C-alpha cells in the first residue's frame, strides 16, 4: 500500500518506519530540507531505541523515502497521514496551524480519492476543521473529488515506541464512513493478527480518547506525588504504600511511581489542551487543574531539599546532576524536571555538572554555553568537585552505581534522589546522607524541608 506521512518528527518517523517494515511503500514529507537531507543519508534527528536500524533498513530496501515536495507527497499515497506538531499556544490550547496547512496542501494537489488521517494529537472537532478546509479548497478548484477524514491517534511511549507500534494494545480509529474503516482495518491488519485490537468509533470520541488517556496517566502520577508529599509529613514510606495499593488489580503498578514530576512532549501539553477545551465550553475542570498544579510544585521538590540542606547558601556550591531527559531511553528534554532543577540551581548561584547518556547534545542546544553548566562525559566525571549528587532521570546506568566511588569523589556524601532508586537503609549504613521522595528515612529533616518550602 502507498502511504504518505506529513511530518518527520517523532510520531511521523516511527509510523513511517513501522509501516514500511511491513512491506508498504512509505513517503515521508517535511518542509525542513536539512532534516530530509540528513534522513536520506541515514542520520536520525531523534533518539529512539531501534528506530535508526529500522529507518536505515527500509530506506536501503526502497520502501521508505523522504521528500520536501508537497505535490509528490499528495500524489504518492492513498493514505495521507498528518503527523505534524501541535505545540501549545500561550493560553494552553493546541496550535493547529501546521495540521491545517497540511490539509490545505492535500486539497491543492489531490485529483482523486484520498484518506486523510489525523495522527497528530488534536482537540475534539479538529477533523471537522480539516474536512471544511479541504472541501473549501476543492470547491475553489471546482473539483468534485471524494475524501474521508479520520482520527487515528498514536499511543507511543518514548523509549518503547517501536514495540508499541508493532504490538499495539489498541488501534483507535474514529471515522464516519464504512469505506474509511475498511481501508484502515486493511492497513493495520499486519499489526492486528494475534487478537483484534482494532477499535472503531466516531471521530470526536477518538479525538477525546487520546487526550483522556494522557490526562489519566498524568493524574495517576500527580496523585502519587501528592501522596508522597503527605507521606513525608506523616513519617510513612511511600514506596511501601505504592506496593500496597498497586497489588490491587483495579489500580495496578503502572504510573504510580512517586518522583520529581512528569515532563515530555505529551502529558504537560495535553493536560493544558484538554483543560482549555473544557474552559472553552464553560466547564471548570477542577481535577485537571489540580493535576497540573501538583506537577508544577513537584518539579521544585528536589531544589527545595537541596536549598534546605545547604541552608540556602548555594552561591559557591557545585551540584552533580544525573539525568537530563524527561525519562529514560530518549533525548527529549521538553518540560523535563531536570530543567526546572538546573535553572533553579543556576539562578541561586550554584554550578551544575550534568551527565545524561543521550540528552547531552539536546542540553547544549537548549542552554548553549551557560557558564554555570558543565556537560560531563560520564556519571562519575560529573561528581568531580561536586558538593552533592542529584538524580532526576531513572536511567538503568544509574540504578546500581559504585557508592564507595561516589562517596570518595563527592566533597560531601549527599544524594538527592528524585526517582527513589536506592534503599535508604543501605545508604545510611554506607554513611551517605540520602534525600528521596516520600520516604521514612530522615523524616524529621524532610518534614522541615516541606514546611520551609510552604
Instruction: Give the Cα separation of 49 and 46 in Å (integer).
Output: 10
CB count, 10 Å around CB of 101?
16
Active site residue 266: yes
Collapse the DSSP code of 114 into the 3-class scheme (helix H, G, I; strand E, B; otherwise coil) and give the result.
Answer: strand
The DSSP letter of residue 397 is: G
CB count, 10 Å around CB of 103?
28
Sheet of strand 351-355: strand arrangement: 373-375, 351-355, 318-322, 388-391, 414-417, 433-435
Task: Say how many CA atoms lie within 13 Å of 289 toward its Cβ.
Answer: 8
Task: Say how many CA atoms lie within 13 Å of 133 toward its Cβ.
Answer: 21
Residue 65: name the closest of 79, 76, 49 by CA.
Answer: 76
Q: Please give the distance of CA 190 from its chain centroid, rounded to a whole number.
A: 26
Place of cell 503527523: 83
Q: Of these residues, 18, 28, 260, 266, which one is catalytic?
A: 266
* Residue 122, all three cell numbers: 488534536
Collapse the DSSP code of 29 into the 3-class scheme (helix H, G, I; strand E, B; otherwise coil) and give the result.
Answer: strand
150-160 core/surface letters (b: 16 or more CB in 10 A; e: else): bbbbbbbebbe
| Distance linking the first and last C-alpha atoms of the chain | 59
Q: Which helix (H) or strand (E) holds 225?
A: helix 203-234
Q: Please give the distance of CA 49 from its chain centroid, rounded to a whole number.
A: 14
Q: Please give the distance of CA 254 from its chain centroid, rounded to a whole number.
A: 16
Q: Among the residues of 284-387, which ranges form H helices? A: 286-298, 301-309, 337-347, 360-367, 379-383
Instruction: Give the Cα separation of 14 and 44 in Å (integer).
Output: 11
CB count, 10 Å around CB of 433?
16
Phi, psi of 453 (to 5 degrees): -70, -20
* Residue 444, all three cell numbers: 524529621
Active site residues: 266
Amino acid at each position: 500500500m502507498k502511504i504518505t506521512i506529513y511530518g518527520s518528527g517523532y510520531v511521523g518517523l516511527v509510523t513511517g518506519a513501522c509501516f514500511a517494515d511491513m512491506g508498504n511503500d512509505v513517503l515521508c514529507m517535511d518542509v525542513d530540507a536539512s532534516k530530509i537531507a540528513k534522513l536520506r543519508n541515514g542520520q536520525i534527528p531523534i533518539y529512539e531505541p531501534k528506530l535508526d536500524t529500522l529507518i536505515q533498513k527500509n530506506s536501503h530496501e526502497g520502501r521508505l523515502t523522504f521528500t520536501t515536495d508537497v505535490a509528490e507527497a499528495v500524489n504518492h499515497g492513498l493514505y495521507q497521514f498528518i503527523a505534524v506538531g501541535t505545540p501549545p499556544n500561550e493560553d494552553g490550547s493546541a496550535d493547529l496551524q501546521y495540521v491545517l496547512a497540511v490539509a490545505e496542501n492535500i486539497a491543492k494537489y489531490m485529483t482523486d480519492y484520498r484518506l486523510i488521517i489525523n495522527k497528530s494529537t488534536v482537540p475534539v472537532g479538529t477533523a471537522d476543521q480539516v474536512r471544511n478546509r479541504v472541501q473549501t479548497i476543492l470547491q475553489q478548484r471546482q473539483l468534485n473529488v471524494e475524501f474521508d477524514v479520520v482520527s487515528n491517534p498514536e499511543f507511543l511511549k518514548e523509549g518503547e515506541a517501536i514495540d508499541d507500534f508493532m504490538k499495539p494494545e489498541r488501534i483507535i480509529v474514529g471515522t464516519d464512513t464504512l469505506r474509511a474503516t475498511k481501508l484502515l482495518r486493511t492497513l493495520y491488519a499486519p499489526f492486528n493478527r494475534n487478537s483484534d485490537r482494532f477499535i472503531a468509533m466516531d471521530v470526536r470520541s477518538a479525538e477525546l480518547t487520546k487526550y483522556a488517556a494522557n490526562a489519566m496517566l498524568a493524574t495517576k502520577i500527580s496523585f502519587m506525588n501528592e501522596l508522597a508529599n503527605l507521606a513525608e509529613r506523616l513519617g510513612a514510606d511511600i514506596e511501601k504504600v505504592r506496593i500496597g495499593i498497586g497489588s490491587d488489580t483495579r489500580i495496578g503498578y503502572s504510573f504510580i511511581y512517586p518522583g520529581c514530576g512528569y515532563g515530555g512532549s505529551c502529558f504537560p501539553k495535553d493536560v493544558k489542551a484538554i483543560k482549555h477545551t473544557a474552559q472553552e465550553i464553560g466547564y471548570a475542570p477542577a481535577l485537571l487543574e489540580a493535576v497540573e498544579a501538583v506537577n508544577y510544585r513537584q518539579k521544585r521538590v528536589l531544589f527545595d531539599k537541596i536549598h534546605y540542606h545547604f541552608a540556602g547558601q548555594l552561591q559557591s556550591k557545585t551540584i552533580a546532576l544525573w539525568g537530563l531527559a524527561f525519562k529514560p531511553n530518549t533525548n527529549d528534554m521538553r518540560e523535563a524536571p531536570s530543567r526546572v532543577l538546573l535553572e533553579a540551581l543556576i539562578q541561586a548561584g550554584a554550578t551544575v555538572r550534568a551527565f545524561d547518556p543521550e540528552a547531552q547534545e539536546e542540553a547544549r542546544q537548549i542552554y548553549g554555553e551557560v557558564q554555570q553548566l558543565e556537560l560531563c562525559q560520564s556519571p562519575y566525571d560529573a561528581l568531580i568537585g561536586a558538593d552533592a549528587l542529584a538524580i532526576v532521570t531513572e536511567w538503568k546506568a544509574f540504578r546500581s552505581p559504585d557508592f564507595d566511588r561516589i562517596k570518595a569523589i563527592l566533597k560531601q556524601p549527599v544524594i538527592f534522589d528524585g526517582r527513589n532508586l536506592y534503599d535508604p537503609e543501605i545508604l545510611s549504613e554506607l554513611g551517605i546522607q540520602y534525600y528521596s521522595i516520600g520516604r521514612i528515612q530522615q523524616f524529621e529533616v524532610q518534614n522541615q524541608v516541606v514546611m520551609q518550602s510552604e
